[in-house]
Amino acid sequence: MVNSTTKPATGKLGVMVVGLGAVSTTFMTGVFMTRKGLAKPIGSMTQYDKIRVGRGADKKYLHLKDIVSMPTLDDIVFAAWDVYPVNAYESAINAEVLKEKDIEPVKDELIAIKPMKAAFDKKYASRLDGDNVKQCADRWDMTNQIREDIRNFKAESGVDRVVVLWAASTEIYVAPDMKYHGSIEALEAAMKANDTDHIAPSMCYAYAALTEGAPFIMGAPNTTVDIPAMWELAEKTRMPIAGKDFKTGQTLVKSGFAPIIGVRNLGLAGWFSTNILGNRDGLVLDEPANFRTKEVSKLSTLETILKPECQPDLYTDYFHKVRINYYPPRNDNKEGWDNIDIFGWMGYPMQIKINFLCRDSILAAPLCLDLVLLIDLARRAGRYGTQRFLSFFLKSPMHDYTVGEEPVNNLYQQYTMLKNAVREMAGYEADEEID
């Protein structure tokens, strides 16, 4: 490292995951299998990518671990909350993402991860029926019980640092409201008044994490940390936050392909995206109120890449539609179809069809690893508040909408932001322009 003030990654890193379902058990199993040399962490930027540091004669292309101090996979210690009481091994088997032969070698490690009782409100995910839930007097009590869980995990596991990662279901949409979400004071008052309409359980997890000195990552499209009160709390506690919604399948394609249309100056008439998905996430999203949260997230991508105000001949009044359909036979094997109606020279119409047969949790697991390691890095580097450089991994990047800030959704610009942040935290110059 070159003149870096980033603290070294000493000791163990605790990763406390909200939700012990398909995504988190796939993440955990992959980490354990990789530790034993029985699998490879393919898809993980922190484990594979090389970026340039320095210029001219000093130019080098290095793995991230050779640029900044990062924990190894051996340094990670897991814990989880879930509404269902089954351990990580049983949950991994039930999820049917991985074959048994890829789970059995780490059975003992997975069995040891027994979920703590979840902070849960059924009206936020009405399709879930688990009974491994906390009994809470109000939202403030809910928050304090989560704080106690974090303190107990730290004490019992002996970890040096903790990151809290939301990998649970999408909650019903909670629109930001300054009366309840505009300041820490307003948020705390609503929690103590048990305002269950404006305070989602996920907000209790985020508040608890930040006040216990743990960075928080929102892996669903919930508005949890995307409110001024949480931004203020992250500043006050000097903790980094990131969100929202893991960018795995269709939106990854969209954020990477839309720039192709833009740089070739082709016109867009419409973009229709539809998915079929059969896992627990698909079940929850089959409820219209929960789908609304996801829809807001997925619809935001195109509008900041193909802008009508910049190119009125090309991008005025294009039609953008997103659908998700629950289809149990596919389970975790999500399939996304994109129909893109474009036009070119002299206005002549053309079409692009994309059919992406994904494995949702296989794509999400490496994102979990990267987000956890990079937000821990940000904390050790003294960065706090919204970590915009992590938008590379997220569908609906957080931004300060109260002052009209526009999120960056272009995948290549996001990648530049990420590389620049890593360079800065390593003591190098952030030397790439975001054009």
- Report how far apart, in Å, the C-alpha atoms of 359 and of each of 19, 89, 208, 248, 330 are: 18, 19, 32, 9, 10
Which residue is it, tokens 């009481």? 85
Model confidence pLDDT, tens digit, residues 54-97: 999 999 999 999 999 999 999 999 999 999 999 999 999 999 99
50-53 and 60-63 strand pairing: antiparallel
Question: Of the candidates 318, 336, 357, which is a domain's last residue?
Answer: 357
Instruction: Please tell me the distance from the alpha carbon of residue 122 to that of residue 145, in angstroms, as a whole number.
Output: 18
User: What's the whole-number average pLDDT of the chain?
Assistant: 94
Give the domain CATH number at 254.
3.30.360.10
Residue 206 and residue 324 in one domain: no
Model confidence pLDDT, tens digit, residues 311-347: 999 999 999 999 888 889 988 888 999 999 999 999 9
Q: What is the dihedral of CA 165, 169, 175, 176, to 10 degrees?
A: -10
In a domain, 216, yes or no: yes
- Report how far apart, in Å, the C-alpha atoms of 93 and of each of 22, 123, 185, 213 are: 9, 28, 44, 33
Q: What is the number of structural domains in the chain?
A: 2
Q: What is the pLDDT of residue 293?
A: 64
Question: Of the candidates 357, 375, 400, which is a domain's last residue?
Answer: 357
Q: For residue 219, what are the domain limits? A: 13-246+361-426
Residue 352 and residue 370 in one domain: no
Question: Of the candidates 323, 357, 391, which is a domain's last residue?
Answer: 357
Residue 108 and residue 239 in one domain: yes
Which residue is it, tokens 């594979």? 48
Instruction: Please tell me the distance from the alpha carbon of residue 222 to that of residue 243, in angstroms, as a whole number.
Output: 9
Residue 235 and residue 272 in one domain: no
In a domain, 378, yes or no: yes
Residue 203 and residue 258 in one domain: no
For each of the chain's 435 residues, which pLDDT tens digit applies?
A: 456 799 999 999 999 999 999 999 999 999 999 999 999 999 999 999 999 999 999 999 999 999 999 999 999 999 999 999 999 999 999 999 999 999 999 999 999 999 999 999 999 998 888 899 999 999 999 999 999 999 999 999 999 999 999 999 999 999 999 999 999 999 999 999 999 999 999 999 999 999 999 999 999 999 999 999 999 999 999 999 999 999 998 899 999 999 999 999 999 999 999 988 887 777 776 677 776 766 666 667 898 999 999 999 999 999 999 988 888 998 888 899 999 999 999 999 999 999 999 899 999 999 999 999 999 999 999 999 999 999 999 999 999 999 999 999 999 999 999 999 999 999 999 999 987
In a domain, 4, yes or no: no
Instruction: Please tell me the distance from the alpha carbon of residue 435 to that of residue 430, in angstroms, as a whole number.
Output: 14
- Residue 51 in contact with residue 62, Cβ under 8 Å? yes
In a domain, 2, yes or no: no
Q: What is the pLDDT of residue 4?
A: 78
Residue 126 and residue 221 in one domain: yes
Residue 196 and residue 118 in one domain: yes
In a domain, 433, yes or no: no
Model confidence pLDDT, tens digit, residues 387-423: 999 999 999 999 999 999 999 999 999 999 999 999 9
In a domain, 143, yes or no: yes
Give the domain CATH number at 173.
3.40.50.720
Residue 19 and residue 86 in one domain: yes
Q: What is the pLDDT of residue 283?
A: 74
Q: What is the pLDDT of residue 281?
A: 72
Q: What is the pTM of this model?
A: 0.94
In a domain, 34, yes or no: yes
In a domain, 1, yes or no: no
Residue 262 and residue 318 in one domain: yes
Containing 83, the helix (H) or strand (E) segment is: none
Residue 315 and residue 328 in one domain: yes
Q: What is the pLDDT of residue 2?
A: 58
Residue 278 and residue 178 in one domain: no
Residue 290 and residue 419 in one domain: no
